[in-house]
Amino acid sequence: MNHNPQSSDGKHDDDSALSDFLASLMDYTPTIPDELVEHYLSKSGFQSPDVRLIRLVAVATQKFVAEVASDALMHCKARQAAVVKDKRDKQQKDKRLILTMDDLSKSLREYGVNVKHQEYFADSPSTGIDPASREE
């Protein structure tokens, strides 16, 4: 293959970049604590003495959760904008950005996680339904 020398050069760059990144992980303190990651990794059968790997998993998890959350935030903002269009008088009340199951399940569906609403029983059909917070 003629691109071999090229890719080997690129590999050297990637190698150094990756090792630099791993070294920089030692200075970071991810939001997800090492102990939690270590606990669940060991529960899954994973074992490694390297702390950097645990940090890497922590960072990857945090990235995943942050992406899901930011998607949910987008959904939340979009829904609020749609509601505000319909009813302007409720504008002040609904301005707070709140993470709800509706938005979360929508954003999680994009990542391949199907989340269903928990079914519940109510004494009257209108219980728990806030017409302002529902699109449908």
Partner 1 sequence: MNNGCLEQRKKEGSKSFKFGSKSDDFALAIAKVAAAQVCDSVGFQGFHLSALETLSDIIVRYIFSIGKSANLSANLGGRVEANLFDIIHGLEELGSGLGFAGASDVDRCVVNSGIVRDIIHFVGDADFVPFAYDVPRFPVVKELKEIGSFREKGEDPPGEHIPSWLPAFPVPETYATRSSVENEPMSVSIGKETESVLASVERKTKRSLLNLQLRIANNEYEGGSLHGVENASRAREDFEGNPYLAAPLHSGEKDVEVSPVVLPAKLSNEVTLRNSVPGNAIVGNNETFASAIDAMKSGLCDSNNGKKKLLSTQRPTLRFKIGIRKKSLGTVPDFNPRNEDLEKDDKKRRVETILKESIQSS
Binding site residues, partner 1, CB under 8 A: 7, 10-11, 14-15, 17-18, 21-22, 24-25, 28-33, 35-37, 39-50, 52-53, 56-57, 59-66, 68-70, 72-73, 76, 96-101, 103-105, 108, 110-115, 118
Distances from the Cα of 108 to the Cα of 3, 80, 136, angstroms? 40, 19, 20
Hey, what long-range contacts does 58-67 have (CB within 8 A, 24 or more apart)? 58/30, 58/32, 58/33, 58/34, 59/25, 59/28, 59/30, 61/32, 61/37, 62/30, 62/31, 62/32, 64/111, 65/32, 67/111
Q: How far is the CB of 136 from partner 1 (least distance, A)?
A: 18
Q: How far is the CB of 67 from partner 1 (least distance, A)?
A: 9
**Closer to partner 1 at the Cβ: 12 or 87?**
12
Measured distance CA(18)–CA(100) in Å, rounded: 37
Q: How far is the CB of 5 from partner 1 (least distance, A)?
A: 14
**Closer to partner 1 at the Cβ: 98 or 136?**
98
Q: How far is the CB of 40 from partner 1 (least distance, A)?
A: 4
